[in-house]
Each structure stands twice: as structure tokens, then as C-alpha cells.
Amino acid sequence: MTTHPDTTTSEHPKRRYRFTGRWFVIGVTLASMAGGCGYSNDSLYRKNIRSVYVEMFESKEFRRGIEFQMTEALRKQIDRQTAYKNAPREKADTILSGEILEWRESSLGHDFTFALPRQTAATLAIRYRWQDMRTGKLLVDQPRLITTVEYVRPAGETVYNARDDAVNKLARKVVNGMETPW
């Protein structure tokens, strides 16, 4: 059986080695460059803190209940997202306290037939502080943290749905603020 010289199935061994060697050098170069980029496998949260006490939020708002929702949402988010544990005040390493500053609603669009609000935006603003109880050091002092959510009444969404969304969104922002600063 004869084969045509253009249809060889094997490569020249020297050529294959040279090709592999070039990719090896490129790979080693990239790996050495990536080592100094500042990436780390460390935890996002402070190692010297193990527990947090979330104090009941205060409120100057006329609408009651937002402070309870905020406090509970923060406790749940701390359990879900962080290495910290909720603890009683006497045993906690740190304390998280805050205040509901404002809850405001405004219409974004009206129904042309009845002139009723169709889409509404709700804004929730809070203030919070996170303090190390052992040293007295203030870890985070956020004078104003705001979130806005939208809800559509004709679609069956209510102000209570909007409050839940806003509170949970702010709780996630607060917990993200508990990460170790870069």
C-alpha cells in the first residue's frame, strides 16, 4: 500500500516539542505575573471578630414596624453571608446599631382612566454604626445609607412588598459593609 507524501499522519517530533515548549514558557510567564496581582484566599471578614449583637433599630418614622423588620433582616443576613455569629449583647465582640431615618413613597406614573398611581417608588434611608465592644473602636460609621425600590399596584404589589424589598436590600448593603477594608 502506498501513501501520498501529503497525507502523513504523524508530525515531526522536533516541531511538536518546540511548539509545546513555547506554550510552556508563556504559561510560566503568565503564572508568575498573576502571583503579584494582590489576589488572596483570605476571608472577606475580620478574623479577630467572631460575634455581633444587632441592637434594635430606632425609628423616627410615623410608620411603625420598619425598625423591627430592619433588625430581623440584618440578623438573618449576618447568619447567611458572614462568618460572624449573632450573640447576646453581653457575649458579643461587636455591636451593630442604627436608626431608620426616612421612608418615602412617590408616584412614578398614573393610570389615565382613573388618575390613580400605577407605579410607585419607595425610598428607605438608615444610619448605622458598627463598634468593637472590646476596644471601643468604631469599625463602620455610615451616616446615611439609601435604597429605592419600585412597585406596581395594578400588578398586585403593595407597600408591604416594597418595604420587605427595601429592608432586605439595605440589610445586604450593611453586611457587605462589614467586609474587611482593602
pLDDT at 53: 98
Residue 169 lies in a domain: yes
The pLDDT value recorded for residue 1 is: 53
Domain CATH number, residue 73: 3.30.160.150
Q: What pLDDT is attached to residue 61?
A: 79
Residue 77 placed within a domain: yes
Structural domain contains residue 46 = no
Domain-located, residue 55: yes
- Residue at 106 is within a domain: yes
Residue 103's beta-bridge partner residues?
124
Q: What is the pLDDT along the chain (182 residues), one digit of tens a residue?
A: 555 555 555 555 555 544 556 666 666 666 555 555 556 666 688 888 999 999 999 998 777 889 999 999 999 999 999 999 999 999 999 999 999 999 998 877 666 666 666 788 999 999 999 999 999 999 999 999 999 998 887 678 888 999 999 999 999 999 999 988 76
Question: By the 8 A CB rule, do 153 and 118 touch?
Answer: yes
> pLDDT at position 74, please?
98
E strand or H helix that includes residue 154: none
Amino acid at 64: R
Cell numbers standing for residue 164: 420587605
> Would you say residue 7 lies in a domain?
no
Instruction: Establish if 59 belongs to a structural domain.
Output: yes
- Is position 132 within any domain? yes
Q: How many independent structural domains does the chain possess?
A: 1
| Cα(127)–Cα(101) distance, integer angstroms | 7
| Domain around 163 | 51-176
For the entire predicted model, the pTM comes to 0.72
Distance (Å) of CA 63 to CA 66, 69, 122, 154: 7, 12, 13, 23
3-state secondary structure of 35: coil
